[in-house]
Amino acid sequence: MSFSSSNENVLTVSEKGILTAVDTGEAVITVSAQSGAISSSVLVKVIERAVDTEKTYGITISGGSADKKTAKKGEVINLTPETKKGYVFVGWQFSASVRSVGNTFVMPACDVTVTAIYAPETYVIKLDGATFEDGSASKKISYGETLGNIKAEVPAGKLFLALKDADGVIYPLDYDKFDKNMTLSPAFTERGAAIASVGKSGFDTGSGTSALKSEAVTIDGFGGYAFTAPASTSLIRVKNGGIDGATYGKFYAFTFKNYSDEDLTFTYRLESYGKIYILAEVTVKAGETFAAYKYVDLSGLGMEGTPYSQIAFDKAPTSEFKLGVTTSLLV
């Protein structure tokens, strides 16, 4: 049995009868047997098959979302910007030249990165009982911007560490998340519960086996206590650590004075029934004073009662040391 094609420029046939298209057109395939005594022919048409060869391209988006991750050239893509607190959506930026209207664009013949552009909202902050650095009592400010230096007349024996609104909500002086027009007034600290009280509270080492000697001191105008601890002390738990309740937020100020010749590095934290809240990572150089403040909202921490303060040393001091502590609560 043999096979033949009338037009091998269109269609070829192998000895086993396998057809191979070469080009579009027509060819007659003939099958012969018994030296041509028996034969049969068939007309074969070769046509071009429609194949979808359109390429798709990738879409990367920042600050929003798109209704497609890939698309073909000419497809319309719908975009949605994110909602960002304190910012207003301005428009879209594209990494390639595209036709865009509003929140849509036409896909180009390449990958494209789309970036949402935002501008900070502007709010008016007014001060009652204080002024801004330029002497004014009103200032326009954007979300993410601090108020700058603020001047206030500070009562004797108190510290000016923050501002408060009409509801008593505290805003640290470096707060930068204002998202509405507000009127603020100074909030001052006064001494809260003593860090320790003779006959009522005291200092315990981490093992709880020995009391530490304490003495009343004044640091930066505030009363507190200084205590002397032995070398290799790893943890000191302080009763009545200045926090007098666990059901609401407090603005908590604390000061340490190192009376020793050795630098002291420790973590200052609150502890109640096994729950820990870190206030600060502290290094107090020999003979120097360290002061800091932080807003503490214990209501969401699951702490009960009055927490202890903890002074936890990552690396224990190598010699006996003396450390003074004061705490303040914002009122």
pLDDT higher at 240 or 172: 172
Are 207 and 326 found together in one domain?
yes
- As a whole number, mean pLDDT of residues 78-88 equals 91
What's the rounded Cα separation, in Å, for the pair 77 and 115? Answer: 14
Residue 137: the pLDDT is 95
pLDDT-derived band at 84 (thresholds 50, 70, 90) equals confident
The CB density around residue 12, as the number of other CB atoms within 10 Å, is: 17
* Residues 214 and 305 grouped into a single domain: yes
Q: How confident is the model at residue 102 (pLDDT cuts 50, 70, 90)?
A: very high
How many separate domains does the chain show? Answer: 4
Residue 253's domain comprises 203-330
Same-domain status, 178 and 283: no
Shared domain check, 299 and 207? yes
Same domain flag for 269 and 284: yes
Task: Note whether 313 and 218 are same-domain residues.
Answer: yes
Classify residue 122 by its DSSP letter.
Answer: E
Residue 10, pLDDT above cutoff 70: yes
Q: At residue 120, what is the residue type?
A: P
Same-domain status, 212 and 315:
yes
Q: Does residue 234 or residue 5 have the better pLDDT?
A: 5
Pair 231, 309 in one domain: yes
Q: What's this model's pTM, rounded to 2 decimal places?
A: 0.42
Note the pLDDT tens digit of each residue in 278-330: 878 889 999 999 887 776 666 666 655 556 777 888 788 888 888 888 776 55
**DSSP code, position 143:** T
Residues 222 and 312 in one domain: yes
182-191/122-127 β-pairing: parallel
